[in-house]
Structure 1
Amino acid sequence: MRLVFTLLSSLILSLPAFAELEGKRPKPEGWFYGIGVGFSESIYKGDRNRVIPIPGIGYIGERFNLLGPFVSYELYENGPFDANAKLAVRFDGYDADDSDFLKGMKDRDRSLDGGFSLGLQREDIARLELEYMHDTLSHHKGSETSIQLSRQFNKGPFFFVPEVSAHYLNQKLVDYYYGVEQNEATLERGRYEGRSGWNYRADLNFSTPILFGGFTRLDLGYIWYSNSITYSPIVDQTEGYNIRFAYTRFF
């Protein structure tokens, strides 16, 4: 189920990119629907990778966006600057029965993070965004701060967006999702207390609004995990990738 929601988030987040085409067309508004498929590697030992088809639905308004498990509200916009309040489901975590290696661990639950973002959009250069999100349900009790730089290129109706981002995960978040408590430790799975660290991502998105009366997008992503995560005995990946395809259109 965790992977289902992760892929759904990627699908429904494809439409806002269409809504921000650097002023090349009016921002679309209203309800939309779509479907997508994605592949994502699991970072946890013994947890298999899956390919899953996902349906999606959401709403884009003048200031308010409801994108499945993601909500945002524009607080401020003036020229190239903008500020937004956000709520987002955090999809990290696992069930102990996801793999034989995780048996005996407590489940690590998804949570609902809330926070804000500050953006600077220079149409002739790039978009810079700073975001801070904190646990609102007291599951991981931690926070994530990220900075992202992206640039959009277009060739006719085809759009290409390379993105690079850095994500600082604080100690509480890392320890909750990747730590091993004393009562969970075994001979193969030692006690481990997570520390804060940085994850780094590189993404490349291809999109076009000309196919089948809707919006089509292909995402290619790669992540480098912090040592504070990869040193965990329940983790067997230092890097990972994901591939997603999505199609959305308005009602």
Structure 2
Amino acid sequence: MSEREGGFWAGAKVEWESELFEVSAEWLTDVSGNSDGQRFDLGLEKTWEFGEHIMLTPYVGASWQDDKNVDYYFGVRDNEVRFDRPAYKGESATNIEAGVRGVYQFDQHHSVLVGVEVTSLADEIKDSPLVDRSTQNAVLVGYLYTF
């Protein structure tokens, strides 16, 4: 298989916040020229504060990727075909994700972040011979120092 490069993405993001929830929309394009692809993400989240130290943020979202991006990362070119890996041409796809982030703020400068996320992969990605599952799971742990 030919190596797939990660790329460098640029675009724009807008957010709208109300008392009920926060909506975000982000458009990105691969300016590195590796995939020449585009993606559009739409998200909905709500943050609750529990006391002075704990914040909890559940969220849901959808991530659309155009056919160039899906084909670059999940496609199998004719020269990459093997008996157990047929050719595959990627098409545009929309993944659905859901998760929750939690923050514990020790004081005004130090915080710890923990998150879990599950992404349901679109059929256009799941059908690739390079993919052997229907979901992608992630766990995030981080430390934040605020100046």
State TM-score, norm by structure 1.
Answer: 0.56
Where do residues 229-248 of structure 1 align in structure 2 (5 Å cutoff)?
229-248=125-144
Instruction: Give the secondary-structure state (helix, strand or coil) at the position aligned to 2:124.
Output: helix
Which residues of 2 match residues 1-251 of structure 1 at below 5 A? Answer: 105-122=1-18, 124-156=19-51, 157-210=53-106, 213-250=109-146
Residue 212 (structure 1) shift: 9.8
Cα distance, 1:213 vs structure 2: 5.0
Find runs of 4+ consecutive structure 1 residues off by over 4 angstroms. none
CA gap of 1:161–1:108, structure 2 versus 1, over 3 A, is: same
Q: Identify the structure with the greater helix proportion.
A: 1
CA distance in 1, matches of 2:140, 2:146: 20
Q: Which amino acid aligns with 1:237?
A: R
Deviations 1:46-105 (A, max 9, x none): xxxxxxxxxxxxxxxxxxxxxxxxxxxxxxxxxxxxxxxxxxxxxxxxxxxxxxxxxxx0
Matched AA of 2:138: N
- TM-score when scaled to structure 2? 0.95
1:246 aligned counterpart, secondary structure: strand
Q: How many residues align?
A: 146
Runs of 5+ in structure 1 lacking a partner?
1-104
Query: How far apart, CA to CA, are the structure 2 residues paired with 1:212 and 1:117?
Result: 28
- The separation in 1 between residues aligned to 2:107 and 2:3, in whole angstroms, is 42
Q: Structure 1 CA distance, aligned partners of 2:92 and 2:69?
A: 8
CA distance in 2 between counterparts of 1:168 and 1:138 reads 19
Identity between Structure 1 and Structure 2 (%) = 23
Question: How far does residue 247 in structure 1 lie from its aligned partner after superposition?
Answer: 1.2
Q: CA RMSD in A?
A: 1.4
Tell me the distance in 1 between the aligned counterparts of 2:146 and 2:92: 41
The CA deviation at 1:148 is 0.3
